[in-house]
Structure 1
């Protein structure tokens, strides 16, 4: 189902096969930088969780499949990882490319690869600019995967994309992928308010709308309002993003299936053991691909 049939995503354009670019007008991309805040102010729990696991697993080469403005990739470049960063939105990539240019005197950024690519054709796209490549780790974080809606009603495209992520991993490699707590949104009609990724300095309000079709939640629209009244631009930013509401149990099964039920699968709640957080904002899945 297309988001535009029920909600206006406040964007136009399709950047590549099959994926709606909700950042195409540039407005959401600019506002997203404000929402993220200082690139050096990622939440410590997030940095410790991701970087710690990558290092303990001996990961060096990492594919960021939803790099957006480049914020997570830059964090990992600074930590010495060899990054390949892709996104389907050229408007978001412009921010990442600008960030790399601004860091051009820092040798750590010399090998940072930034390219446009699509999850639905991901292995082929990567082969076009980096032949015969597999990665120690693949990340798809910040609720990015939920941007891919269920056009056919059976999640076939989402399942295919998860398989593509698995294909890009070396044997024994790690996939980090997350989604918001849509179970709570569906039940209560509200988004858990705390952020586990960003330290935004502005007041942020998120209005939640859940579309239910024939008794089944089909889409969630989040209206972000970022009050920048005290900033230099004195601007209030409003933008809407539409997501597929992945339920925890269903998404867990899809991931296991994508790895042919042979991967080690761990689930965390806001980067903590799942039993330690009663109503998490996010669920984070870590898949370890079979080494055979």
Structure 2
């Protein structure tokens, strides 16, 4: 299903990470960049959670499969990991390439690989620029995977992409992938408001719309309103819409297990904490450890 067939953006929106651009205009992209901040503004809980588990499991080479502008990749490079960053959006990759150029005097950035790739052809795309490469870890975070909509209404493309993530992992490797708490959105019609990734200093309002087709939730539209007028560069509030596939926790868990042939160790976290500690999380984070053989 194409989001444009059902929902129309009030502005053209921003590029989505990891898949073909959903929408793109300069105004909303600039404001969104203020919302996500830079690598130094990532929340401490997020940084500690991700890098802590990577180091605990001895991960060295990491594939950022939804790198966007390169924010998370830079955080990992700064932490000493060997990072390969891919995205299907050349517009987003331009920001990552510019960031790498600006860090050219830092030797840690010499080995940062940035290339265009699609989740749907990920093993082939990676083999094209790094023949025979496999990874200790793959990350697909920030609700990026939910940008991939269900065009055929049977989730075949989503299932294929998850299998591709598993294919590029070494035995024992880790996949980090998340999604918003769509169960809460579907049940209440509202988005849990707290952010676990960003330390945005601007007021943000998110309006939630759920599209139900034949009794089944098929798409969630989030209307963002970000008031960044006090920085002097933007004279009005920015409003734009992004559309997502509403992954329910139970069905996404099952789909992930199937992608790893039901042989992976599967851990689920709520806002980077043990699942049972958070009543109404903003995000669910899945960590899959691929079987050793």
TM-score between both structures, scaled by the size of structure 2: 0.95
Structure 1 distance, partners of 2:230, 2:187, is 35
Structure 2 distance, partners of 1:154, 1:109, is 41
What residue number does 1:101 align with?
101
Structure 1 distance, partners of 2:142, 2:290, is 21
Post-superposition offset of 1:20:
3.6
For the aligned residue pairs, the C-alpha RMSD in angstroms reads 1.8
What residue number does 2:261 align with?
260
The 3 A distance-change label for structure 1 pair 190 and 196 is same
Contact 1:13 1:24 in 2 (8 A): yes
Contact 1:88 1:116 in 2 (8 A): yes
Q: Which sits farther off after the overlay, 270-279 or 230-239?
A: 230-239
What residue number does 2:278 align with?
277
Structure 2 distance, partners of 1:60, 1:14, is 29
Paired residue secondary structure (2:80): coil
Cα deviation digits, residues 91-120 of structure 1 (max 9, x gap)? 111111111111111111111111111000
Post-superposition offset of 1:24:
3.7
The 3 A distance-change label for structure 1 pair 14 and 50 is closer
Post-superposition offset of 1:239:
1.8
What residue number does 1:241 align with?
242
Q: How does 1:143-158 map to 2 (within 5 A)?
A: 143-158=143-158
Cα deviation digits, residues 206-235 of structure 1 (max 9, x gap)? 111110111100000111111111113134
What residue number does 2:196 align with?
196
Q: How does 1:105-184 map to 2 (within 5 A)?
A: 105-184=105-184
Structure 2 distance, partners of 1:210, 1:272, is 27
Post-superposition offset of 1:61:
0.3
Cα deviation digits, residues 147-195 of structure 1 (max 9, x gap)? 0000000000000000000001000000000000000000011100000
Structure 2 distance, partners of 1:189, 1:12, is 22
Post-superposition offset of 1:19:
4.5
1:185 maps onto 2:149 in alignment:
no
Q: Tell me the matched-pair count.
A: 290
TM-score between both structures, scaled by the size of structure 1: 0.95
The 3 A distance-change label for structure 1 pair 82 and 94 is same
Contact 1:19 1:118 in 2 (8 A): yes
Gaps in structure 1 of 5+ consecutive residues? none
Structure 1 distance, partners of 2:112, 2:3, is 33
Contact 2:37 2:200 in 1 (8 A): yes
Contact 1:11 1:21 in 2 (8 A): no
What residue number does 2:52 align with?
52
Structure 1 distance, partners of 2:241, 2:27, is 10
Structure 1 distance, partners of 2:28, 2:61, is 29
The 3 A distance-change label for structure 1 pair 133 and 23 is farther
